[in-house]
Chain A
Amino acid sequence: MSREKLQQLGLDLPLFPVTAVGSFPKPDYLLQGRSDFRKHKITADQLHKLEERATTFWIEQQEELGLDVLVDGEMYRGDMVAYFAENLPGFEQGGLVRSYGNRYYHKPIITGAVEWTRPMTVDWWKFAQNLTQKPVKGMLTGPYTIMDWSFNEHYPDRRATCLALAWVIRREVEALIEAGCKIIQVDEPAMSVRPEELPVLIEGLQAVTQGLSAYFITHACYGAFEHIYPDMLKAPVDNFDLEMSNSDLDMLDLFRKNPFTKDISFGVTDSHSHKIEDVATVRRRVEQALTVLPKEQVWLDPDCGLKTRSVEESIGKLRVIVEAAKSLRS
């Protein structure tokens, strides 16, 4: 079904399309540039040039490695929720809170009605797409995750917050489609945090995608999916991008009990390990996947965004995935 949809959209992808989840590490010159910008040592234009240089670097890397569906690498974003909060009226930037280990992020605070006033990602998508003939994914964070990862001082409850955000994200999806984007990923890593709220997440994604012509992917990771599977398959997307390797492919047991009915971007390398897996390991993971999934449904990528890895580690992990995909195709 989804292969047909891809073809209808004019996308002819090989077996085991290789993609990336979204973020890549920022090269040192960009990290320095962001630091200098915060200290008012460089202008916004100068920072923008560095972001363009880094985006170009990552597009070239993905081309060279042989990925099939590319991402812009999110060189202009600090954090997947904070970026949207910074660009949407209704949010204020909150202080730092810890994510895990020694990693912190600015958790936004919703202090008023959230509004979409202008595209937030479209210019970057156009910039990246103009650098390659391969399709570049539009990358958005989903309404449920933005709601869950923000403090709320305005809306009466979580559902109202999620739906208000859904209409905002829908406007961004419409803008991406209008610009020519055909594959749009709406990340919902908070998908499994409150299983009883899965209907709210699905309602939010329906508001985002309903009636719009694109191939939709959603990414989720590091959750207790056993509590929401198979109901999560009701989410109106074509492809679930799932972290599988960090959790030792344990979701395959769920798929055996209830068939996975959508396409899957199957995480074949651990994004939170410095170790670069070898091709045989990746192949073995795919072969295990194929014991329960039809090969036509399977895309390959890392478990999660790679921004916490080094540039070299990220390239290494992508390289083994591409090599494994090539060997599997042959």
Chain B
Amino acid sequence: MKLLLANHSSYPRIGGTRELQQLRRTIAAWERKEANDETLHAAQNALVHAAIKEQEEAGLDVLTDGLIRWYDPISHLAGKMDGIEISGLLRFFDTNSYFRQPVAKAEIHAKNGLTVSEFEFATTATQKPVKAVLTGPYTLARHTIAEHAPYKEIGPLTHAYAEVLAKEISALAARGCQIIQLDEPAILKHRADFSVLQRAVQFLSRHKGKATLSLAVYFGDPQPLYERLQELPIDMLALDFTYNPKLAERVVALGAQKPLALGLVDGRNTRLEDAAKLAHLIDRILLRVKGEFCHLQPSCGLEYLPRDRAAAKLKLLQQVRAHLKGSK
């Protein structure tokens, strides 16, 4: 069993230096129409490079582009689809960050690619594998106001989003993306909708080609759904261990039928975990997982932390792996 170190998804797009605050200044200027699109893209590119560099310096094996270009996890994708209008602000789960809520006004269709160009840019910045991240269809649907009558039920709306995302997954896989992470935090808050998620994931998994499809759940306790999540047609299950201190023992007790991405490092709090203690726990978990590899990653995207702390959390992953007695 090999333990790979991975970033979860997002990474801070600001930092303490003038260079790391360039994107904020550029966006402000762009909003005032004092900077053009080209200048904005250059500033975004620079921050993607910086995020990738810090992940490489931390010794990660699987990187992301930090989702630097995303306004938020919902409107960045939904806003690029026909049939959707973007509306007011709403709090994103229990974070102190906000997303703009999509309103489904008509049938949802793909306009252009959603994230492929972002993925391709990131691959030019590193030799390491880049994980593509997509907010899943159920979570998009849960955060959407359905004004289009056929979407009044969560099932059809989820499927409509899944049809767009299926094309995106195919496109990413066709461009050589090795791992695609589908984020579905909303299912932890609406467990009764599991069958809706199940149908969507079954549909999406048929479009993944050779890519590894990972399903990530976070911002809640996955324990009540753990066994059902194992049964989904996915290649990897990414879990947030921070909401339930007993989850790790539960995983040890039940084992895992497929590789896990272990979100044991808290992406929401600055307190650094004890590397030796985490390593001991991981040694026990890995003995119970079927597969050739697992990931160790933060519990969620790191943009909820200040940049220095986010970097420290990534470096901690390396320290944890160094303490492992078993798999490395």
Contacts and interface: CB of A to CB of B under 8 A. Distances in A.
Given A102-B24, A104-B24, A97 B305 contact: yes
B156 interface: no
27 contacts: A94-B270, A94-B309, A95-B16, A95-B306, A95-B307, A96-B12, A97-B305, A97-B306, A98-B12, A98-B303, A99-B96, A99-B98, A100-B99, A101-B71, A102-B27, A104-B14, A104-B24, A107-B96, A151-B305, A151-B309, A152-B269, A193-B93, A193-B94, A194-B94, A222-B90, A222-B91, A223-B91
Interface string B260-281: 0000000001110000000000
A192 interface: yes
Nearest to A95: B306
A193 B308 contact: no
A98 B14 contact: yes
Contacts of A99: 96-98
A262 B279 CA distance: 52
A107 B88 contact: no
Nearest to B269: A151
* Interface size, B (range): 20 to 34
A97 B303 contact: yes
B49 interface: no
A37 to B, nearest CB: 18
Interface in B272-328: 303-309
Given A95-B15, A98-B14, A109-B270, A246 B89 contact: yes
Contacts of B98: 99-100, 222
B96 A149 contact: yes
Contacts of B271: 151-153
A190 B96 contact: yes
Interface centre among B24, B91, B99 (most CB of A within 10 A): B91
Contact of B270 (A102, A151, A270): A151
A40 B148 CA distance: 56
A272 B14 CA distance: 23
B28 interface: yes
B28 A102 contact: yes
A97 B95 CA distance: 11
A100 B307 contact: no
B208 interface: no
B88 A193 contact: no
Contacts of B91: 192-193, 222-224
Interface centre among B72, B303, B307, B309 (most CB of A within 10 A): B309
Sorted nearest first, the 10 A-B pairs with minimum C-beta distance are A95-B306, A193-B94, A100-B98, A151-B270, A246-B88, A102-B27, A153-B271, A149-B96, A194-B94, A222-B91
A95 B308 contact: yes
A247 interface: yes
Contacts of B270: 94, 109, 151, 153
B13 interface: yes
A148 B95 CA distance: 8
B31 interface: yes
Given A109-B270, A151-B270, A97 B12 contact: yes
Interface centre among B16, B24, B303 (most CB of A within 10 A): B24
A328 to B, nearest CB: 25
Interface in B219-270: 269-270
A231 to B, nearest CB: 17
Contacts of A192: 91
Contacts of A104: 14, 24
B137 to A, nearest CB: 20
Contacts of B305: 97, 151
A100 B96 CA distance: 9
A149 B27 CA distance: 25
A99 B99 CA distance: 9
Contacts of B303: 97-98
A11 B67 CA distance: 52
Contacts of A109: 270
A101 B16 CA distance: 18
B25 to A, nearest CB: 9
Nearest to A105: B96
Interface centre among A96, A104, A148, A193 (most CB of B within 10 A): A96
A96 B88 contact: no
Contacts of B72: 100
Nearest to A304: B89
Given A102-B31, A151-B271, A247-B88, A97 B15 contact: no
A267 to B, nearest CB: 12
Contacts of B96: 97, 99, 107, 148-149, 190, 193
